[in-house]
Structure 1
Amino acid sequence: MKANKLTGKSNNNYLPDVLGDGFTKLTLSFDDDYEGEVVATLIRRKSLTKTSKAILYIHGFNDYFFQEEMSKEFNNQGYSFYALDLRKYGRSHLNHQKLNNVRSLIEYDEEIDLALQIIKSERNKQVILMGHSTGGLIVTNYAGNHLNSDLFHGIICNSPFYEFNLNVLERKIGVPVLSYLSKYFPNKLISSGFSKLYGYSLHNDKYGEWNYSLYWKPHDIPNVNLSFISAIYKAQKNIQNNLVIDVPTLVLYSSQSIYEKKWSDKFNEGDAVLNVNHIKYYANKIRGNVTSCEIENGMHDLILSKKLVRENVYKKMFEWTNVHFK
């Protein structure tokens, strides 16, 4: 598959972004969906040196792009850095939309396709797709569904959401039943199941070191539609059934999962959202040039871990990129 058919548009007029410091943004517009008007946002921070290499980063659930340090680390390695705030997240959320609402992860192909076309038009010849958590699930599926593309050349996954962090009965019976029911009740609300304690471990108004918008990434996570559960489930099944990827792929995950019910410093030393054994297992089932990398004491978003830990994350990522992208 060569260049993808575009279904959206942009005016190619970057504007200053809320992050400042060299970050700019571009609004991408698409045809209306089941909620009405749809937009996504492409954020950019160009490398200070001449380069033809770029990253396109995709955030996770209950999330948006705010990781300035990560973008600058890639800039320092000679990459122009781009990120998407997907439709109905962060900068792209419109008043008539329910946060995070999606019925299939393939809906995101529109903004990924258009972003990759824009990145290529800006003279980038080597492009790595990078995703965190649900974003890792999205980019893995995208790569498997777009073999032989000339728009991206590698994948990096930061704690990808390859499986629900539930017991075996809930995973094998509960989630499939909910996915089936979504055909008839797509807008039925259900708890996301995620604890606000993870947010507490990140934000500097609680126990973390990061400052970000609690409107765009709230501690109290909104309920999700049944259709969202179905979208995740179907994408996970695609990965779990020996998905083929034809570009080099790096999957990073923590050395341990955390299951505390009350606040504890343990939240700073492990993945408080996903089961890391699931990530490792399903990463090893993907067919292709896949490198798995365990990060000692990494948090769920590995690049938001404590300083020494995230420095190790960058070290591992750039060792890998230096092998595959000269």
Structure 2
Amino acid sequence: MTNAAAALPWAPDAPLGGTFESAPIASATLVRPRRTPSDPRGVVVHLHGYNDYFFQAHLAEAFTRAGFVFYAVDARRAGRSLRPGEVPHYQSDLHEQATDLSTAVALARAAHPGLPLIVHAHSTGGLVAALWAHSHRERRTVDALVLNSPFLDVGASSWLSPVAFAMLDVAAPLSPMVQVTSAPSWYATYQHVEHGGRWDFDTALKRPQGLPARAGWLRAVVRGQVRLAAGLEVGCPVLVAHSASSGIDSPDNPLLDAQDTVLDVAHIERLAPRLGDDVRTVAVEGGVHDLSLSAPEPRALYLDEVLSFAASAGSAGGAP
């Protein structure tokens, strides 16, 4: 097969090992499992969240077993794509990550023409994916969205006091690199095996101590959330999944491993209908912020919901 994806300089992926391979795509990095379905029913492109990168091999394996070709993109300044001297995960406009998603989707489409394509995106990546799908709706670039705890909430949340929220749009352009939050991420800390968690991710690429949010980045996120709150039309079916409850991000929280301690799930539930006309929401009891990293039972529930939704999207057929 001669296409741009096949022509990429694929090499064994350093973070995940020989069962995965990765290749640079402009400012980003594309990752895929070496094993692919013999008769694929669709294609999935995954986009990570903030202080994150693709390491969820079990997610790729679940999609592959279900007959989907899987790709993940580490966006610019994130994970595998971070270059010396860059500020991790910084973007002054969400269009930057959207451009990386567009590149990955175009490559996946070219490699698998005619197959339905699903974007699976987490947290801030979910916000980016929703805005991107809205801007591409006339071209039918994507056939379905799966948003895993998307960062949809608008206004003075745990990120901002009311006064800071009001001042952000004015102050951020003047001092975009000012840190507006720098608290440790107990959620990320307790996910790692060194602290009793289930996941052995690269702590240089996903920092257990958390990653400061900078004014320019937060302004870009809030601007995107304001656009979403006004109403989008993504032009495809959407599954929005989130934990059944939220809690404080503290080592004293006995449900730290069974709640979303990053976002308020009530905000996700309230704003999900503004994505478009065909939106389904599911609350996962016992799920954490990244539902795919939850304890075995809620993780299995999440994957079952996602694969069922993906199968229904796949049966509807791919883009013309």
TM-score exceeds 0.5: yes
Instruction: Give the counterpart letter for 1:184 in structure 2.
Output: L
Match of 1:28 among 17, 25, 30: 25
Is 1:142 matched with 2:132? yes
Please identify, of 93-102 and 103-112, the stretch whose mean Cα deviation from structure 2 is larger.
103-112
Q: What is the CA–CA distance in structure 2 between the aligned matches of 1:237 and 1:221, rounded to whole Å?
A: 25
Higher RCO (Cα < 8 Å, 6 or more apart):
2
Is 1:191 matched with 2:188? no
Structure 2: segments with no counterpart, 5+ residues = 316-320
> Which TM-score applies when normalising by structure 1?
0.89
Give the fraction of aligned pairs with identical amino acids, expressed as a percent: 24
1:179 Cα deviation after fit: 2.6
- Aligned counterpart, 2:165: 175
1:201 Cα deviation after fit: 2.3
Alignment partner of 2:169: what SS? helix
Is 1:44 matched with 2:40? no
Task: Trace 1:285-300 onto structure 2 (pairs within 5 A).
Answer: 285-300=274-289
Distance 1:148 1:56, change over 3 A: same
Instruction: Give the counterpart letter for 1:191 in structure 2.
Output: T
Distance 1:165 1:257, change over 3 A: farther
Distance 1:236 1:218, change over 3 A: same
- Aligned counterpart, 1:158: 148
Instruction: Give the counterpart letter for 1:147 in structure 2.
Output: R
- Aligned counterpart, 1:211: 200
Q: What is the CA–CA distance in structure 1 between the aligned matches of 2:103 and 2:157, rounded to whole Å?
A: 38
Distance 1:165 1:211, change over 3 A: farther
Instruction: Give the counterpart letter for 2:197 in structure 1.
Output: G
Alignment partner of 2:268: what SS? helix
Instruction: Give the counterpart letter for 1:25 in structure 2.
Output: S
What CA deviation, in whole Å up to 9, does each residue of 1:210-230 have, x standing for no partner?
000111111222323211011
Is 1:63 matched with 2:60? no
Match of 2:9 among 1, 13, 31: 13
Distance 1:322 1:185, change over 3 A: same
Alignment partner of 1:278: what SS? helix
Q: How many residues align?
A: 309
Q: What is the CA–CA distance in structure 2 between the aligned matches of 1:144 and 1:192, rounded to whole Å?
A: 32
Instruction: Give the counterpart letter for 2:31 in structure 1.
Output: I
Distance 1:245 1:173, change over 3 A: farther
Q: What is the CA–CA distance in structure 1 between the aligned matches of 2:163 and 2:92, rounded to whole Å?
A: 20
Instruction: Give the counterpart letter for 2:30 in structure 1.
Output: L
- Aligned counterpart, 1:131: 121
> Is the contact made by 2:240 and 2:280 (CA closer than 8 Å) also made in structure 1?
yes
Structure 1: segments with no counterpart, 5+ residues = 1-7, 30-38
- Aligned counterpart, 1:235: 224
Distance 1:161 1:181, change over 3 A: same
Distance 1:24 1:179, change over 3 A: same
> Is the contact made by 1:200 and 1:207 (CA closer than 8 Å) also made in structure 2?
no
> Which TM-score applies when normalising by structure 2?
0.90
1:264 Cα deviation after fit: 3.9
Alignment partner of 2:153: what SS? coil
Match of 1:223 among 212, 216, 222: 212
> Is the contact made by 1:153 and 1:247 (CA closer than 8 Å) also made in structure 2?
yes
